Amino acid sequence: MITFPGSLDDQDAARAVRYAGAEPVALWHDDADLHGVAAVSVPGGFSYGDYLRAGAIARFAPVMGLVVAAAERGLPVLGICNGFQILCEAGLLPGALLRNAGRHFVCRDQRLRVENNGTAWTNQYWAGAEFVVPVKSMDGRYVADRSTVDELEQQGRVVFRYAGGNPNGSKNDIAGICSPNGRVVGLMPHPEHAIDELTGPSADGIGMFGSVLDALAPAAG
């Protein structure tokens, strides 16, 4: 779990990891090694104040070079909200995230549909399942050129789609996508805020953190 200057949701991501039964490890943006973690979560927030473009400066943080190299070796990486923006800027995921079409910051409970349950982060869901998580972002409109979007659709790399209304005008209602090997997933909504009905709209977000433990289990055992 990485913390950049301006990260907000790193503690909630750590809590989600704990709820799923794993040990969260704090990584700092300036770290020169990944402390042997089995997976990385890049949290939401406004790293470096979102200066220039959301995620544009965080992408050059020392720790991100390590994350990119480790992801190329198959390390599971999850980018949530600003984390998704960072992964796109870093080139781990294609496309970009732009200002919401409605020009307003959107903060609401959002229904999501699981389109691909074959990734490292979604194997505990049924394909086609829908669940509710918070979405809270200013720059959540996913865009990519037509050939990239076609490729994502054809390869089943659209992992989540907005259901019951698109909050930001994203292409094809895309809420989250993955790398070709399904190990790197980025999404705008916040599963880490939906892990306990006491504090979130549902507890269904925990499945993402449980999924990665399942994905890692064969390697560990």
Partner 1 sequence: MARVFVDVMPKPEILDPQGQAVARALPRLGFEGVSAVRQGKHFVLEVDDSVDDDTLTKIAEGFLANPVIEDFVVRRAES
Cα angle: 87, vertex 93, 98; to 5 degrees: 70
- End-to-end, the C-alpha distance of the chain in Å comes to 23
How many angstroms separate the CA atoms of 93 and 109, rounded?
A: 25
Q: Which of 136, 61, 91, 36 is nearest to 25 (CA)?
A: 36
* CB 139 within 8 Å of CB 98: yes
Confirm or reject binding of residue 145 to partner 1 (CB under 8 A). Answer: yes
How many angstroms separate the CA atoms of 50 and 119, rounded?
A: 29
Q: Is 81 a catalytic residue?
A: yes
In the complex, minimum distance from the CB of residue 112 to partner 1, in angstroms, rounded to a whole number = 23
Q: Is 23 a catalytic residue?
A: no
Of residues 71-90, which lie at the interface with partner 1 (CB under 8 A)? 88-89
How many angstroms separate the CA atoms of 34 and 26, rounded?
A: 9
| Span from 15-23, 41-49, 93-101, 185-193 in contact with partner 1 (CB under 8 A) | 93-101
Cα dist from 33 to 20, 29, 60, 67, 215, whole Å: 24, 10, 15, 9, 23
Q: Which of 89, 115, 178, 192 is catalytic?
A: 192
In the complex, minimum distance from the CB of residue 211 to partner 1, in angstroms, rounded to a whole number = 28
Query: Which one of residues 100, 119, 179, 202 is an interface residue with partner 1 (CB under 8 A)?
Result: 100
* CB 177 within 8 Å of CB 93: yes
Q: Which of 60, 65 has the CB closer to partner 1?
A: 60
Site string for partner 1, 23-62 (x = CB under 8 A): -----------------------------xx--x---x--
Confirm or reject binding of residue 65 to partner 1 (CB under 8 A). Answer: no
| Span from 38-46, 70-78, 94-102, 108-116 in contact with partner 1 (CB under 8 A) | 94-102
Instruction: Please count the residues of the chain.
Output: 221
Q: Count Cβ atoms below 10 Å from residue 165 Cβ, excluding itself.
A: 9
In the complex, minimum distance from the CB of residue 94 to partner 1, in angstroms, rounded to a whole number = 8
Q: Is 107 a catalytic residue?
A: no
Number of residues that bind partner 1 (CB under 8 A): 20
Q: Which of 16, 144 has the CB closer to partner 1?
A: 144
Catalytic residue numbers read: 81, 190, 192
| Site residues, partner 1 (CB under 8 A) | 52-53, 56, 60, 88-89, 94-96, 98-103, 141, 143-145, 169
